[in-house]
Structure 1
Amino acid sequence: MLFDMDGTLFDSEPLWDIAIEELAHAYGSAISVEARLAMVGRSVDESMVLFHDSIGQPWREAAASARWITDRVTGLFATDLVWRPGARELLHEVRAAGLPTALVTSTSRQCVDVALDTLGRHNFDAVVCGDEVAFTKPHPDPYQRAAKLLGVDPTDCIAIEDSPTGVASALAAGARVIGIPHAVKLSPMTGLTLLTTLTGATLATLTTAAFPH
């Protein structure tokens, strides 16, 4: 089982909102709602282009802005992470069943290391972070790497995702995907099963939904 983190296991997009909006304010501007939504699930480089373009300051140094946002979010992750409904229960059931499990996120290792204090490091056999792969979501690389680390074929995996970029990444890797839309809508497509919530979802129901007979 392959889990995305932001927006899937945690309702953490509001924490990213805080950091992004604070930095925009520090730059004497504000980010548009459209640009912020477009950043969801994207790589740091892509997000910083969207951010700087939205605030009308494309000349800003991407690395400096990304570092400021990452440091701010890291602090918020230490104190303000909230589980999405049903996510913790599903994760615990998956682990109790002994299934190989990976966390696959576009977020940097710095933030993820703090988040793992809440997630539980023991809940994952592998962790793939956005700054540890050659290509981030929507490229299949993150999910392919996770499957390889688990020693399984991606086509035998179920990925849990909330963003279009994450869904695209998992599908391109060959995984079946359970989509739980949150900040951004998801469109129906082959290989994707859409649910409104993980509340009440079980390993059995998700397996049946992802691999129908």
Structure 2
Amino acid sequence: MTPHLDTVRTTLPAAVLWDLDGTIVDTEPVWLAAELSLAAQHGATWTEQDGLDLVGSDLLEAGRKIRRRMGLSITAEEVVEALVGAVSEHMRHGDLVWRPGAREMIAALAEAGVPQALVTMSYDVIAQAMIARMGPNPFDAVVTGDVVSNGKPHPEPYLTAAATLGVDPRRCVAIEDSNTGTRSAAAAGCQVLVVPNLVPVDPGERRTQAETLAGLGPDDLGRLLPPEGAEAEGVDA
């Protein structure tokens, strides 16, 4: 389906805040391969569903879950270090599968002068490896899992991005593919365009679902915003 977009638009978003994994690049198979490799190294069991259960999660929390599920003797931090190393290597040198319409939307927003931020639970080394392969950096701010105290689904990552850009999160559109990320963005007060990838995302307040970004443009994102002055007071806890 395509998002329900009103015919009247008052403005473009103050900023567009992008998730990375599964939203800009289809990295979830890369993460799963890294998790399976780690399991094999330690003689542990891991499944595709185990990997899907972690989609969008804070990496250190994911490392704790992996450690428990695999029964590993290494620390959660060492789990994360191994996974981040494998994924960042792929981002630098592997074949990247870009999500349909994502790069086109990023370019159109840059052309329209709309500020953009990358808001990801991947670590900075992964984010920078992807950005390096995009040509000129389109992002005015980058918020990663290793620079926030509370990862998604806490609103801190999106609130941090909006504060860095100097914009009201309630006038921003976040683009997400997971329940965890969508909850984070909605709790920060953003309107969320949900483009599911590997996992379904629950409906809820401030969420609009679309099958793809292909064929959409900045004006479509602007139509997701409430009328000026109609934002709900405050943000969710």
Same fold (TM over 0.5): yes
Count the aligned residue pairs: 211
Give the secondary structure class of the aligned counterpart of 1:131. coil
Q: Could you tell me which of 126, 136, 143 is aligned with 2:158?
A: 143
Which structure's residues are more often helix, by fraction? 1
Q: Percent identity?
A: 38
1:71 matched residue in structure 2: 85
Cα deviation for residue 121 of structure 1 reads 5.0
- The more displaced of 41-50 and 167-176 is 41-50
Q: Which residue of 2 aligns with 1:17?
A: 32
2:48 to 33, 40, 45: 33
Measured at CA, do residues 24 and 168 of structure 1 come closer, stay the same or move farther in structure 2, by a change above 3 Å?
same
Q: Secondary structure of 1:119's partner?
A: coil
TM-score, L = length of structure 1: 0.94
Q: Is the 8 A contact 2:131 2:137 kept in 1?
A: no
Unaligned 5+ runs, structure 1: none
Q: 1:104 corresponds to which letter in structure 2?
A: V
RMSD, aligned CA: 1.3
- Cα displacement string for residues 49-84 of structure 1 (whole angstroms, at most 9, x for unaligned residues): 2212322x0543111111111111111111222210
**After TM superposition, where is structure 1 displaced by more than 6 Å over at least 4 residues in a row?**
none
Greater Rg over alpha carbons, structure: 2
Cα separation, 2, equivalents of 1:121 and 1:187:
35
Q: Retained in 1: the 8 A contact 2:17–2:173?
A: yes
Q: Which amino acid aligns with 2:167?
A: V
- Give the 5 Å matches for 1:22-61: 22-55=37-70, 57=71, 59-61=73-75
1:193 alignment partner, one of 188, 205, 208: 208
Name the TM-score, length of structure 2 as normaliser: 0.85
Give the deviation of 1:38 after TM superposition.
Answer: 1.3
Contact 1:49 1:58 (C-alpha < 8 Å) held by counterparts: no
Equivalent residue, structure 1, for 2:168: 153
